[in-house]
């Protein structure tokens, strides 16, 4: 059984190294996100190779290659941070000076190698660096804290990306959800187990190694078939609209009037409302109203109006005076023309169907 376990660890780590180096090589020349995904898989492959070494007692063998000295957990939060930024923010550019963030990792590896060489030259039993509180905090605790922070920000970015993606596709398939949340879910579970093992001292590292083995086999299979599987698609940006030649208007003042027309005058409750109707209400050219919505609200006219309609329905759902009305009745009062349109728009703006939203409220 032990031999089979060691063999599985070695085979999975080997596959992980092949995939990670392939992603790193491609990312160095092409999309940078692949480079950082490769770094993540490289560290995980190192961890599994180290598990193999412990399993077969390779570390105690004379002349053993001390590959474990070149492993740093500090790579994980940094690599995941840049991967998240590059895949969820289309305009994000990785600048050359960002490599300076990786200097502490190089320092950690260099000092560990120096310590190993220095202790070996004295021919004495060296103290473990992990016995030093500062070193333990820097190399074991800091990466966990970094992962918690990065995962929190990553979750928020994925949520915003999902809403934007659904606006373009109407609905997401199971495969697209796996593509969106697969890596995040894996890193979240890994961080929870990592915290339990290092901070809480739970004996879970064998289970972690099994999980890494399964995931590296799975990621390797996906990677060979489709190396860009976890690279999120580029979303269409709202088309930039040139400002019409209406220099006599103050954008800030007219934008406040535009919002007041909906929040106070309730223009959105008119069925089949058009930009011309709003322009006539405000006594403004329709092209200028479109410019205000597209430029200052980062939206198109329909989404802008539907946002007010959804908020109107949500407000009335929480109003005891409106409890005798059905959701459809509230939707029609808010300006929607049909149940299907309301359901689709409500899901786009809230991420839930009306029935799911009501269940959460209860």
- Model pLDDT for residues 117-172, shown as the tens digit of each residue: 776 665 556 667 777 889 899 999 999 999 999 999 999 888 888 777 766 655 66
The model's confidence at residue 224, banded by pLDDT at 50, 70 and 90, is low
What DSSP string describes 232-290?
PPPPPPPPP-PPPS-TTS-HHHHHHHHHHHHHTT-GGGSTT--HHHHHHHHT--HHHHH
Mean pLDDT over 73-98 rounds to 87
Give per-residue pLDDT as tens, 174-217: 777 777 888 899 899 999 999 998 888 888 888 888 888 888 77
Selected residue with higher pLDDT from 61 and 108? 108
Q: How far is CA 223 from CA 8, 208, 226, 235, in A?
A: 19, 21, 5, 23
pTM: 0.64
| Separation CA 88–CA 92 (nearest Å) | 9
pLDDT digits (tens, 9 = 90+) for 91-104: 778 888 899 999 99
């Amino acid at each position: 059984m032990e031999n089979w376990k060691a063999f599985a660890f070695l085979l999975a780590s080997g596959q992980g190294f092949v995939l990670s180096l392939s992603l790193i090589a491609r990312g160095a020349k092409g999309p940078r996100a692949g480079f950082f995904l490769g770094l993540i898989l490289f560290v995980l492959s190192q961890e599994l190779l180290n598990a193999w070494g412990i399993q077969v007692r390779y570390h105690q063998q004379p002349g053993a290659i001390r590959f474990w000295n070149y492993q740093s957990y500090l790579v994980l939060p940094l690599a995941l941070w840049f991967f998240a930024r590059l895949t969820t923010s289309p305009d994000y550019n990785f600048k050359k000076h960002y490599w300076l963030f990786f200097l502490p990792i190089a320092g950690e590896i260099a000092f560990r190698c120096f310590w190993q060489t220095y202790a070996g030259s004295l021919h004495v039993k060296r103290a473990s660096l992990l016995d030093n509180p500062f070193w333990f905090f820097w190399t074991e605790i800091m990466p966990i804290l970094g992962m918690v922070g990065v995962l929190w920000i990553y979750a928020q970015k994925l949520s915003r990306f999902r809403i934007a993606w659904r606006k373009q596709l109407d609905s997401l398939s199971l495969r697209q959800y796996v593509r969106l949340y697969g890596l995040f879910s894996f890193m979240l579970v890994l961080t929870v187990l990592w915290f339990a093992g290092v901070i809480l001292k739970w004996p879970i590292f064998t289970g972690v190694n099994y999980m890494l083995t399964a995931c590296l086999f799975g990621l390797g299979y996906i990677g060979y078939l489709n190396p860009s599987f976890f690279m999120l698609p580029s979303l269409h940006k709202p088309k930039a609209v040139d400002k019409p030649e209406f220099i006599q208007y103050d954008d800030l003042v007219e934008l406040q009037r535009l919002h007041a027309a909906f929040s106070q005058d309730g223009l959105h409750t008119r069925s089949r409302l058009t930009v011309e109707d709003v322009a006539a209400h405000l006594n403004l050219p329709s092209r200028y109203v479109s410019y205000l919505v597209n430029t200052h609200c980062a939206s198109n006219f329909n989404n802008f109006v539907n946002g007010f309609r959804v908020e109107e329905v949500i407000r009335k759902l929480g109003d005891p005076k409106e409890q005798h009305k059905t959701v459809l009745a509230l939707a029609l009062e808010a300006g929607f023309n049909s149940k299907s349109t309301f359901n689709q728009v409500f899901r786009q703006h809230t991420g839930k169907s009306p029935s799911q939203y009501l269940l959460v409220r209860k």
